[in-house]
Structure 1
Amino acid sequence: MKLLVFTLCVVFVAAQKPHPCESPKQFEGRFGRFDRVRKLEVFGKFAYDDINRRYREFEFIQTGSKSEFYDKLFLHNEGFEYSMNLRTRICNKTAITWPFRPYAVPPDANFRGTSVLGPSNLGRQHVTINIFDGKTPEGNIYYAITTGEDCYPVTFTFFDKKTGETDRENFFDISLGISDPEAFIPPRGCPP
Structure 2
Amino acid sequence: MYAAFTLFVFICLTATTHADHHQPCHAPNMTGFMTALSLKGEVKAFGAFTYDSMGKKLRFRSNESHPVNTSVGLDVLMFFDKGIFYEIDLKNQSCEKKTLQCTQHPLDIPDDATFMTTVNTGNPSIEGEGLKINAWTGSMPDKKGKYYMAVTMECLPVSTFYFYESSSFLFSLTEIDTEIKDPDLLMVPSICLGQPLEATPEGTVHSFLNEFM
Tell whether the structures are fold-level matches, with TM greater than 0.5: yes
Distance verdict in 2 for CA 1:137–1:125, change over 3 Å: same
Q: Which amino acid aligns with 2:68?
A: Q
Q: Which residue of 1 aligns with 2:173?
A: 171
Kindly indicate whether structure 1 or structure 2 has the higher relative contact order, using CA contacts under 8 Å at least 6 residues apart: 2
Q: Which residue of 2 aligns with 1:109?
A: 113
Structure 2 SS opposite 1:63: coil
Gaps of 5+ in 1: 1-14
Higher strand share: 1
Q: Which residue of 1 aligns with 2:102?
A: 99
Would you say 1:123 and 2:101 are equivalent positions?
no
Q: How many residues align?
A: 169
Would you say 1:23 and 2:26 are equivalent positions?
yes
Distance verdict in 2 for CA 1:124–1:35, change over 3 Å: closer
Structure 2 SS opposite 1:20: coil
Partners in 2 of 1:136 and 1:50 — Cα distance?
Answer: 21
Partners in 2 of 1:176 and 1:99 — Cα distance?
Answer: 25
Structure 1-normalised TM-score?
A: 0.71
Partners in 1 of 2:193 and 2:69 — Cα distance?
Answer: 28
Q: Which residue of 2 aligns with 1:5?
A: none
Q: Which residue of 2 aligns with 1:62?
A: 68
Q: Is the 8 A contact 2:109 2:149 kept in 1?
A: yes
Alpha-carbon shift at residue 142 of structure 1 (Å): 1.4
Structure 2 SS opposite 1:182: helix
Deviation per CA, 1:163-190, whole angstroms, max 9, x where unpaired?
x333421111112232222221122333
Identity of aligned residues (%): 21
Tell me which stretches of 4 or more aligned residues in structure 1 moved more than 6 Å.
none
Q: Which has the larger radius of gyration?
A: 1
Alpha-carbon shift at residue 21 of structure 1 (Å): 4.5
- Once superposed, what is the RMSD of the aligned Cα atoms? 3.1
Structure 2-normalised TM-score?
A: 0.65
Q: Is the 8 A contact 1:24 1:176 kept in 2?
A: no
Alpha-carbon shift at residue 134 of structure 1 (Å): 1.3
Deviation per CA, 1:105-140, whole angstroms, max 9, x where unpaired?
234322222222323332342111111111244434
